[in-house]
A = this chain, B = another copy of it.
Amino acid sequence: MEMKVIAHIRSDFPTKFGIPHQSGRIQELKADIIFEPEYRNHEAFRGLEEYTHIWLIWEFSQAVRKEWSPTVRPPRLGGNVRMGVFATRSPFRPNPIGLSSVRLESVEFSEKYGPVLHVSGADLMDGTPIYDIKPYLAYVDSHPEAAGGFTDQIQDHKLKVEFPEELLKKIPVEKREALLAVLANDPRPGYQTVSYTHLRAHETGRNLVCRLLLEKKKKKKKKTKRKKNK
């Protein structure tokens, strides 16, 4: 089946670094969905503004591999445990399709781009191609009772962020909240076995640097972990 790109997302993530592993984790993150000229038809969006949430079906465009692998190592498991690819939301799947529910903040009809969807909570890299937009229907899509396999057991790891006022002023006002939330979410790929608890922003020359700090928790023994997961 050949799929046509209908839109692209415009987000604040130029690279994969820092993108939350799932959608909806950081509601402060705002993004725009800009449609391809063929789909800039107001009629196609009639009624969409009544929904609070929508589905995005998109392509892991930066994660395409020639061969699919039956197992992957989910970052939430520390990157050392292999799981079946269909038991994960990993990008490295036979068809690199991503599925994300995001909050629909508003539908704008701009002169330049036609219909633009303003969304929050998106986990998509800037420029990600989108293939479908669907309304989120709570009566069929919501299963709060669904059990979640390995993801159920993993505790959320949040960093305490220290960001001096004078440095925060260098960030555009409307981006500050999202930046702090992304930092608190621990933007590292998640393969590290060292659990930091703290993050401090400071300046080195012209660069704004964020340093991770250990507090209380200590480095785990790597060898033991590896053995376990073999």
What residues make up the interface of A, taking CB atoms closer than 8 Å to B?
1-6, 22-25, 39, 41, 43-48, 50-53, 55, 57, 59, 70-71, 82-89, 93-95, 97, 99, 101, 129, 131-151
Cα–Cα distance between A147 and B28 once the two chains are bound (Å): 20
With A and B bound together, what is the CA distance between A53 and B133 in angstroms? 22
The distance in angstroms between the C-alpha atoms of A86 and B143, with both chains bound, is: 23
Q: How far is the CB of A158 from chain B (nearest CB, A)?
A: 14
Give CA–CA (A97, B57) in the complex, Å: 9
Chain B residues, CB < 8 A from A55 = 99
A44 to chain B, nearest CB (A): 4
Shortest distance in angstroms between A29's beta carbon and chain B's nearest beta carbon? 14
Q: Which residue of B lies closest to A154 (CB)?
A: B139
Q: Given A24-B140, A70-B41, A99 and B57 touching (CB < 8 A)?
A: yes
Instruction: Select A46's contact among B41, B82, B131, B138, beta carbons within 8 Å.
Output: B82
CB pair B151–A146 under 8 Å, yes or no, is no
Contact A143 B4 (CB under 8 A): no
Q: A43-B70, A138-B144 are in contact. Are A95 and B132 (CB under 8 A)?
A: yes
With A48-B87, A59-B1, A138-B143 already in contact, the answer to whether A71 and B43 are too (CB < 8 A) is: yes
User: Which residue of B1, B84, B147, B150 is within 8 Å of A45 (Cβ)?
Assistant: B84
Question: Could you say which residues of chain B place their CB within 8 Å of the CB of A47?
Answer: 83-84, 87-88, 149-150
Minimal beta-carbon separation of A69 from chain B (angstroms): 9
